Amino acid sequence: MTHPHGTHNAGQVTLSLVIPVFNEEDSLDGFLARIQQVFQHEVLIDLELVFVNDGSSDATLERLLQRQQSDARLRIVDLSRNFGKEAALSAGLQIATGQIVVPIDVDLQDPPEVILAMIARWREGYEVVLGHRVSRRSDTWAKQTSAHWFYRLHNKIAEQPLPENVGDFRLMDRCVVDALLTLPESRRFMKGLFAWVGFRTTHVDYERPERLTGQSKFNGWRLWNFALEGITSFSTEPLRVWTYLGACVSLVSFAFAMFIVVRTLIHGVDMPGYASLMVAVTFLGGLQLIGIGVLGEYLGRTYIESKRRPVFLVRRVYDPKD
Ligand code: UDP
Ligand code: MG
């Protein structure tokens, strides 16, 4: 099926892979071998490999520089410290030059051969082709369940829904990348930004395999913070909820007060209930603390954004020529 708005050029195309790496010295060789295997016969695709070294403390950078000696497709951005995957992706997108750009993990959890299927859809005229995981079997039960609830909650309250079971692995046309680069915020929840910019979108399905070497850098606490980041980046609903909750609680308290007045009028003065009093006080105290916490979360974000600090700092860009 061809997209009604016309197709992309069927000829030669430049493709940039953006690969954030953080302590991945053991994954590099396997990744590059797979890339070689998948793309060696693709004469229509000019490949550029943009590695973003996100402050690795192992030999990742040295290995990359070594590989670059014999492979002029490698470009390496060395960040000044670990800024996190979101910032590293932003750095890579900024220097990628391809007509189409695909962010991909180095651990081969995003199978490179899927990119060929994505390019086929792009040639049909789509500007974004999402890599859609048909199953999350390689993830733990806890990760699957928490992810599911995160998407349900996020999509209920955010303006622009996030597609479920879709990660950063996706094909983007040059126009999409340029649009992303114009977004000014410094706290960058990429999945949300990707969804927010829109464009003609389709997806290809793939099975997400397990990580080959090394370990996942995202543990439970980091994922929890990531989820908070996502929700507070794209919705102010948590701020408004307190207005309604407050109104409801006040209403109930008022009804309860009326009830006590009436009961006192009919039955005379009663022994005051210490337990119910304590429950009411602690309950309201807790509610108020949560409310203040949510306010603080947003105030903090405004504070960080108001500094207008850069998203990442580059120590050096290594291009094959130099
Ligand atoms: N990564 C990064 N900076 C970080 C954490 C991760 O650049 O602070 C990179 C990592 O090297 C890998 C990709 O992001 O290429 C995905 O990381 P990981 O496989 O740990 O995440 P998961 O697949 O468990 O979500
Ligand atoms: Mg992984």
Mean pLDDT of the region 151-169: 82
More confident of the two residues 189 and 182: 182
pLDDT at 96: 95
For residue 266, how many C-alpha atoms fall within 13 Å in the half-sphere facing its CB?
Answer: 6
Contacts with 316 (C-beta within 8 Å, 6 or more apart), sequence order: 78
For residue 120, how many C-alpha atoms fall within 13 Å in the half-sphere facing its CB?
Answer: 9
Local confidence band at 218 (pLDDT 50, 70, 90 cut-offs): confident
Say if residue 82's pLDDT is above 70. Answer: yes
- Please identify which residue in the block is written with the tokens 């509610």: 287
**Ligand 1 centroid distance, CA of 217 (Å):** 6
CB burial string 297-310: b at 16+ within 10 A, e below = eeeebeeeeeeeee
**Ligand 1 centroid distance, CA of 87 (Å):** 12
Local confidence band at 3 (pLDDT 50, 70, 90 cut-offs): low
Closest C-alpha residue for ligand 1 atom 19: 216
**Ligand 1 centroid distance, CA of 127 (Å):** 25
CB burial class (10 A; 0-12, 13-18, 19+) of residue 80? exposed
Nearest atom, ligand 1, residue 20 CA? 7
Nearest atom, ligand 1, residue 52 CA? 7
Contacts with 36 (C-beta within 8 Å, 6 or more apart), sequence order: none
Site to probe by mutation for ligand 1, drawn from 61, 85, 219 as the one with most ligand atoms within 8 Å of Cβ, is 85
Say if residue 60's pLDDT is above 70. Answer: yes
Q: CA-CA distance, 106 to 32, in Å (whole number)?
A: 9
Low-confidence winner among 56-65, 164-173, 274-283 (lowest mean pLDDT) = 274-283
Mean pLDDT of the region 284-291: 80
Q: Is 197 helix (H, G, I), strand (E, B) or coil?
A: helix
Nearest atom, ligand 1, residue 109 CA? 23
Local confidence band at 1 (pLDDT 50, 70, 90 cut-offs): very low
- Beta 13-21 vs 45-53: how paired, if at all? parallel
**Ligand 2 centroid distance, CA of 288 (Å):** 39
Closest C-alpha residue for ligand 1 atom 13: 105
Mean pLDDT of the region 179-202: 81
More confident of the two residues 37 and 264: 37
Phi, psi of 19 (to 5 degrees): -125, 100
Q: CA-CA distance, 250 to 240, in Å (whole number)?
A: 16
Q: CA-CA distance, 27 to 67, in Å (whole number)?
A: 13
Q: In this structure, how many other beta carbons lie within 10 angstroms of the beta carbon of residue 211?
A: 14
Closest C-alpha residue for ligand 1 atom 10: 21
Q: CA-CA distance, 296 to 115, in Å (whole number)?
A: 42
**Which two three-digit tokens encode residue 112?**
């490179």
- CA 200 to chain CA centroid, nearest Å: 20
**Ligand 1 centroid distance, CA of 211 (Å):** 10
Nearest atom, ligand 1, residue 215 CA? 20
> Which runs of consecutive H residues, i.e. helices, occur in 158-273?
174-182, 190-197, 220-234, 237-267
Ligand 1 pocket, Cβ-based, cut-off 6 angstroms? 20-22, 24, 54, 82, 84-85, 88, 105-107, 109, 211, 216-218
**Ligand 1 centroid distance, CA of 56 (Å):** 11
Phi, psi of 46 (to 5 degrees): -95, 120
**Which two three-digit tokens encode residue 228?**
């908070």
**Ligand 2 centroid distance, CA of 105 (Å):** 6
Site to probe by mutation for ligand 1, drawn from 18, 22, 57, 165 as the one with most ligand atoms within 8 Å of Cβ, is 22
Q: Which CATH class is domain 13-234?
A: alpha beta
Q: How far is CA 211 from CA 18, 84, 106, 107, 139, in A?
A: 18, 19, 9, 6, 10
